[in-house]
Structure 1
Amino acid sequence: MRCCSAQITGVWESPKLTIEKVEQVFCEAARAGAALISFPEQFATCWDPASDKNREDLTGTTVTGLRRLAERYSIAVVGSFREAFTPKPRNTSIAIGSNGEILATYAKIHLFTPGGEDRAFTPGTGLATFTLEGVHFGLAICYDLRFPEIFGLYRRKGVHAVIVPAAWPESRLRYWELFIQSRAAENQMYIAGVNTTGTNPVDRYAGASMTADPSGNIIARVGKGTELLYYEINPHVAEAARHDFPVENDRKDMLYASLMREKAN
């Protein structure tokens, strides 16, 4: 399955203008034969841990715009937006099929507390999966990469690839690559990180969107500018890796739980 990570800079706090801007991206990705295109974290507004502007529900500008473009260009899409929620919005990723159907939504579980995101947003409490062309996908967002537990849970659900929209700053870029490779190798799955680029009022970003295969090897990567990154996902590669090197069989979950209780006591 051919996929595309759209490393772009959105229009600051303007979902309408960003959706207009990315139509050409949909056109190019579809023309290149991609079945799925993914965008960075809160791409339609740019990520801001303190902003409560542009809260949207599933009928808002961002989601309806993505659904319209997905259907127009017959390509599935993963996007990210500030989902209206009480008392505080959620940082939500959404998967939409090539017919405009909503396939899955995922609210970011691990909010970036060092940047104050926890003060403005509500954390998610569940995982999200969807299937396209025989590939089982999971969703995570940015800071989630630092927490291997959810990727292990996706592994147990039979997920072949996790899409990770992000606004990962240039100052910590070396950890971006480290965590993408680590989560891929640990769980014998593809990890596709799609990062933003450019400078805005929050931070400076250096792109480096990349995809790691089930062995943890980087199979596709771009630089720091606006670029479309294409890569291939083969579910049989993930399944073969798990069959030939069955790490999962050596887990000791009951012991881990016991040790955690022991620590708590």
Structure 2
Amino acid sequence: MRCCSAQIDGVWESPEQTLETAEPVFSDAARAGAALISFPEQFPTGWDPASNKNSEDLAGPTVTGLRRLAKKYSINVIGSFRETFSPKPRNTSIAIGNDGEILATYAKIHLFTPGMEDRTFTPGVSLATFTIEGVHFGLAICYDLRFPELFRLYRRKGVHAVIVPSAWPKSRLRYWELFIQSRAAENQMYVAGVNTTGTNPVDQYSGASMTADPHGTIIARAGTGNELLYYEIDPQFVKQTRRDFPVENDRKDALYISLMSEQTK
């Protein structure tokens, strides 16, 4: 399955303008044969841990626009936006099918407390999975990469690939590659991180969107500017890797739980 990471910087705090500028990206990805296109974290507005501007529900302009473009270009889409929620909005990714229908939504579970994102947003509490052309996907967002437990849960659900929309800063880029490779190798799955680029009022970003295969090998890597990064996902390769090296069989979850409970006594 051919996929595309759309490493683009949107128009700051302007969802409608960003979607307008993004339409040629849909067209290019569809012409290149991609079945799925993914965008960075909160790409219609830019990621800002202190802002709840332009938050909207599933009937708002961002999701409506993404659904329209998905259907127009017959391509599956993973977008990201600020979702209206009470008492505070959620940082949400959404998967939309090539018919324009919503496949899944995921609210960021691990909010970036060093940047005080938890003061402005409500954390999610659920996983999100969906299937396209026989590939079983999961969703995570940026800071989630630092928490291997989340990816282990997706592995237990039989996920072949996790897509991670992100706004990962240039200053911590070495961890970006480390975590993508680690989460992929640990769980014998594809992990595709799609990052933003450019400079905005929050930070400086340098792209480097990348995808690691079930061995943790980087199979696609973008540069520092706006770019469409293409890669292939093969669910049979995931299954074969797990059969050839069945590390999952050696996990001791009951013991881990017991040891953790001892630490709290």
Partners of 2:200 and 2:166 in 1: CA distance:
15
Compute the displacement of 1:52 (Å).
1.1
Deviation track 1:17-69 (CA, whole Å, cap 9, x = no partner) reads: 00101000000000000000000000000000000100100001110000000
- The aligned counterpart of 1:120 is 120
Structure 1 residues without counterparts, runs of 5 or longer? none
C-alpha distance in 2 between matches for 1:247 and 1:88: 40
1:7-156 matches, cutoff 5 A = 7-156=7-156
The one-letter code sitting in structure 2 at the alignment partner of 1:240 is: Q
Residue matched to 1:239: 239
Q: How far off is 1:171 after superposition?
A: 0.1
Q: Which runs of 5+ in 2 are unaligned?
A: none
Is the counterpart of residue 214 in structure 1 residue 238 in structure 2? no
- 1:162 & 1:131 partners in 2: Cα distance? 11
What secondary structure sits across from 2:20 in the alignment?
helix
Aligned-pair CA distance for 1:257:
0.3
Residues in 2 aligned to 1:40 and 1:161: alpha-carbon distance in whole angstroms: 17
Aligned pairs, number: 265
Q: SS of the residue aligned with 1:255?
A: helix
Secondary structure (helix, strand or coil) at the match of 2:43 reads coil
State the TM-score, normalizing by the size of structure 2: 1.00
Matched, 1:161 2:147: no
AA matched with 2:96: I
Identity %: 80
Cα separation, 1, equivalents of 2:34 and 2:254 = 42
Q: Deviations over 1:148-202 (max 9, x none)?
A: 0010000010000000000000000000000000000000000000000000000
Aligned CA RMSD, in angstroms, stands at 0.3
Q: Distance in 1 between matches of 2:52 and 2:93?
A: 17
Equivalence map 1:198-209=2 (5 Å): 198-209=198-209
Secondary structure, counterpart of 1:55 in structure 2: coil
Q: Output one character per residue of 1:212-252: Cα deviation in whole Å (capped at 9) or x when no partner.
A: 00000000001100000000000000000101100000000
The CA distance in 2 between the partners of 1:52 and 1:236, in whole Å, is: 41
The alignment's TM-score, normalised by the length of structure 1, stands at 1.00
